[in-house]
A and B are shown apart, each in its own frame.
Chain A
Amino acid sequence: ILNVEQSPQSLHVQEGDSTNFTCSFPSSNFYALHWYRWETAKSPEALFVMTLNGDEKKKGRISATLNTKEGYSYLYIKGSQPEDSATYLCASRGSQGNLIFGKGTKLSVKP
């Protein structure tokens, strides 16, 4: 079973701050890395699916990078807004094609 680690566990920032968090995963047998945003009382929403070393993806103020050789991905949020408050999950796809999730980073953005 793959182990996916996320840090920090939680993060409190002020509106307008930029922030980033980390996802670590085993670099062997890597297939894909997923990022999800999970707002309270809603369903997890897919942000990015990344497969290639050096991949960078962007969606509005949110972007992500991928390093498959060393087994990490960063998620960046530029100019955080209160609506960015959510738990951000990363997940690594294993050999059977199923996702292994980390515990998530809970982001709180204060106005």
Chain B
Amino acid sequence: EADIYQTPRYLVIGTGKKITLECSQTMGHDKMYWYQQDPGMELHLIHYSYGVNSTEKGDLSSESTVSRIRTEHFPLTLESARPSHTSQYLCASSVDNNYGYTFGSGTRLTVV
């Protein structure tokens, strides 16, 4: 049973559309993360949050934005999707830095 949920699992959308990828966790974790992975490549951190109203950009530059209004919810938004945004997006959370991350099942985004 998943403790961190991502929706949608797959999304095909046209260029210029605004999209929001949802991520919710039921474990009460303060730390949450968004990773992006292109085929055959590493997971790259694009956003993270260490608590409510705290968000930071990760190592990989991204045109997406995030918000953290509630502990359990960490949505990612693309205001205007482009084909270059086609990728897999993984959400994760952790209780603190001494424990492994719990990952969601990911969203495969295709922008046509």
> Number of A interface residues, CB 8 Å?
26
* A29: interface (CB < 8 Å): no
- B: which residues have CB within 8 A of A? 2, 4, 33, 35, 40-45, 48, 58-59, 90, 92, 97-106
Looking at chain B's contact residues, is the secondary structure mostly helix, strand, loop, or mixed? loop
Q: Note all chain A residues with C-beta closer than 8 A to B99.
A: 46, 49
A residues neighboring B (CB under 8 Å): 1, 4, 31-32, 34, 36, 42-49, 51, 89, 91, 93, 97-104
Given A32-B97, A99-B45, also A44-B33 (CB < 8 A): no
Q: How far is the CA of A43 from the CA of B40 in the complex (A)?
A: 16
In contact, A1 and B59 (Cβ under 8 angstroms) = yes
Given A43-B103, A43-B105, A89-B43, is A100 in contact with B98 using a C-beta cutoff of 8 Å?
no
Q: In the complex, A51 Cα to B99 Cα: how many Å?
A: 11
User: Please, how many angstroms separate the alpha-carbon atoms of A23 and B58 in the complex?
Assistant: 22
A82 vs B28: C-alpha distance when bound (angstroms): 35
